[in-house]
A and B are shown apart, each in its own frame.
Chain A
């Protein structure tokens, strides 16, 4: 039997979409979803699920979808995944479930992510899933951070009857889903919807509380919480420590994206937070955050939006779809290009980036070929805005203010890979706070594992470790 072609997802035209912040990928229609679902072979021993960090029951939900039992399909996903509308949009499926789909061997895996998104969005517009609040078991757990790790851990525990409170430092819940990922990739309404779902399970969210400052972890134990899960993410932006980095017009990607996503600076002056709308914008780095930043710059009106990356095309860490989107939108990629100095005018505003050409040498410990500068190859790229998207590291504040909670020298909390247990009894951690900047779904997986271990720990009546 010939295998049908993978169903394409409609997207906004690149020429149009660079003028707005609305969603780029528009989602399947019912017909498209049914067509795509019909490609699933319903393998007896499904391999797709092994690629999912939260083990979504993929063939089962697709089978229900095929039968047009959409509510049951979404309920099936939600048995293991609390944030399907988000995962369907931002997971790197090509490295996860879809990479393990048997059809992937022929280069055309089932579009699992798009189907997940379809049923999640269907539920929002049609369904009314009945949320059954679990019988309270009398135990209280505190969760630090309302990003993907914290939301997942909290939701899983709430389903088991725990009374969970999430403490969030910003004024809005969602963590990186709210301040980091732009509207055109993940609409904030979708995030709010998923947060509401978690709240409907009985989870309380307290915003504007910085654990480590407003309250310490010891305060939480003192207030009667029996376990604490730390999902505080990796919020500290890295800089290159090159001359000119503090010139006006140089942003960390975190600042640039926070102004845009959390504070809606692209709607200034309707919203009060301003942002500089650069005409020639250079973004340093080539991960997902760099792609988000450069594509935001375009939407703010940049005539030239550039990625400067010290390695080559093959080594870019961004999700393939986002690189493709950026290219379609007209982003220029400068590979093997590394900034050595940022240049400014006499008033202290950025005018350009002095770069050096690189060549690739032997693979380094990340397995990617190491970039080596070519002496004497310096050249200048004109720019009025420079955005550093070099990665982030975990905030040291919790390790500094919590006795017994140990971190690696680079900032990541030390935690058991399987359970999330930290060096401090009754404190678990997971997500970027442990791994450094990674993906939404890995953070969710860590939140899930920790929830399971917290439940085992508390129900066993153990004291400390």
Chain B
């Protein structure tokens, strides 16, 4: 169990792995995540399930090497096993059956949006995708996204590819150009999801976001992943990870996700040869 069957380097800091996880693959739905641990002294981190194949019993994970655990994970090669992997966790995304949805993915957030687009595309929903990254080298899953989108817009912050600007700017342009949409799904770093919600808010376009807070167990036990939604505390692991983005307390979410900044630095410095973003 948990053997890595395929590994693809998507960008210098982003990797895609296909893992043998028949239990998880059998039950996984778009929007759900897993928790993994890579070594005996290791921490538990959540990663969204980017794809699954029930017949082969595999799941796909896409991750950016930002912290110690993702960097250690990035060092694993084909035939290596992930020490512990549990899931699928969280509530599956409630995806529409018809209409038009704009899917906005920023950075490594394109990975979690992919299974949602696939499922909507299969259902006959019109999918307009906007994917973006800082520069063209960091763009991921373009082909896969293209295959399940009726329209695909590519953005880079530095203008090296496609639209020069943020994914939220592109979304704004579409709305201002009169593109009709029933809802928006946005996944990516907190500032990107927040900006996207600010774009859609004046137009009252329903906007779903997928939160990725700090978690320990991922089953509702610890409450580390508390998110304030519409003034109410929710546990992202059992009530989410998808929430109505217009109701999120973004300032709090940003603060909480950075709670262990200092410790993360210490941990990263102790592992100088782990690769990844420093």
Contact = CB atoms under 8 A, between A and B. Distances in A.
Given A255-B222, A273-B216, A246 B233 contact: yes
B223 A239 contact: yes
B216 A255 contact: yes
Given A214-B88, A246-B256, A237 B216 contact: no
Interface string A249-289: 00110110011000110001111111010000000000000
A208 B219 contact: no
A248 interface: yes
Contacts of A9: none
Contacts of A347: 255
A156 interface: no
Give the most central of B216, B260, B264: most A CB within 10 Å: B216
Contact of B23 (A215, A252, A271, A395): A215
Chain B interface mostly helix, strand, loop or mixed? mixed
B223 A241 contact: no
Interface stretch (B41-49, B123-131, B164-172): B41-49
A49 to B, nearest CB: 35
B68 interface: yes
A425 interface: no
Interface string B198-223: 00000000000000000011011111
Contacts of B220: 235-236, 395, 397
B233 A210 contact: no
B219 A395 contact: yes
Contacts of A251: 223-224
B183 to A, nearest CB: 26
B85 interface: yes
A458 interface: no
Contacts of B144: none
Interface in A219-262: 235-237, 239, 241, 245-246, 248, 251-252, 254-255, 258-259
Contacts of A207: 84
B49 to A, nearest CB: 12
A439 interface: no
Contacts of A270: 41
A272 B68 contact: yes
27 contacts: A179-B221, A208-B84, A210-B87, A210-B89, A213-B87, A213-B88, A214-B86, A235-B217, A235-B220, A236-B221, A237-B222, A245-B226, A246-B228, A246-B233, A246-B252, A248-B255, A248-B256, A251-B224, A252-B222, A254-B221, A263-B43, A263-B216, A264-B41, A271-B41, A273-B44, A276-B259, A348-B255
Contact of A171 (B37, B68, B259): B37
B37 A348 contact: no
A245 B267 CA distance: 28
B88 A170 contact: no
B243 to A, nearest CB: 15
Question: Which of B24, B41, B84 has most chain A Cβ within 10 Å?
Answer: B41
Q: Which of A208, A264, A268 has the most CB of B within 10 A?
A: A208
Contacts of B266: 268-269
Given A239-B223, A348-B252, 5 more contacts: A213-B27, A254-B222, A263-B43, A271-B43, A274-B43
